[in-house]
Amino acid sequence: MALFLKPIFHEKIWGGTKLRDLGYDIPSDKTGEAWGIAAHPNGNCEILNGPYKGQTLANLWNEHRELFGDFPSKDFPLMTKIVDATESLSVHVHPDDAYAFEMEAGQYGKSECWYIIAAEEGAEIVYGLNVDHKEEAIDVIDDAAFDSAFNKVKVKPGEFYFIPAGTVHSIGAGVLVYETMQSSDVTYRIYDYDRTENDTKRTLDHDKAKDVIEISTENINIATDTEIIENHRRTQLVSNDFFTMVKWEISGTLNYMKPREFVLVSVIGGEGQVIVDGTVFDVTQGQNFILTSDDLDTIFEGDFELIISYL
């Protein structure tokens, strides 16, 4: 049986109200994130249906690992969220697994990827620094020479970006992003526009940021691979050691075969049905569910867009 999950909302200084447009009942006009599939201590989603209704995803991972193909990781490895950046996020960086394990009490590092759901005209992201070497990046931080240091990229709906651990980045104002990432909530702020919370300037994490920054010369635009399957469009956005992320544009009926023992599914547009081993579930924009190792026969039917992520 597919496991549908209750989203968890996080209010942010830069958040807004766009998550309402996806059908979410958000807690305030400063809601920045909807964690759709998560089993993290800072956001542990509740199962909404079936025999495990009311349990958390982390509890299922710990007590019923067979639902996930007995995957050997101690913690549930992935997380999905939607981010509403009404104002710009801080410019920040995430550590890799080795650094996070040592310095952040055994947590995962954080590589992530972004699918741009919506973006206002002229909206930007920060992706990397305008330097060639890490020593230059450290000088930028030490000297607070941020005016021209950040590599800013204008974005449009439908674009995709992969952000490996160590990459300096930020989502700019007016951008709505779907994210798949490692299950981590470790962030090192580099620059935050001198914003305050509760009359106190928000903390920066320059020492740790300088430790983990990586300078890459790779092209930020990942080449995606699109194919037509049963008259539906399948676009593989990324596949690496951390996750694979695929966008499906479905119109009609798709007989879906899971590529792994469990997959994470988010409905980012439209509506339809998912039929799992004969059980019919109505699905609509904003819903999130997991197909487990018990789910052998899956059919998607309707007109909707899905993002499916897996290991």
**Which residue ranges make up the annotated binding site for Zn(2+)?**
94, 112, 169
Q: In what order do the strands lie in the sheet with 78-85?
A: 8-16, 31-37, 78-85, 175-182, 112-119, 160-163
Check 189, 195, 233, 260 and give the catalytic one: 189
Cβ atoms 183, 110 nearer than 8 A: no
**Which residue ranges make up the annotated binding site?**
94, 112, 169
**Long-range contacts of range 72-78, CB-CB < 8 Å, 24 or more positions apart?**
75/39, 75/108, 75/183, 76/38, 76/39, 76/40, 76/183, 77/108, 77/182, 77/183, 77/311, 78/37, 78/180, 78/181, 78/182, 78/183, 78/243, 78/264, 78/309, 78/310, 78/311
> Does the active-site annotation cover 234?
no
Return the active site residues: 189
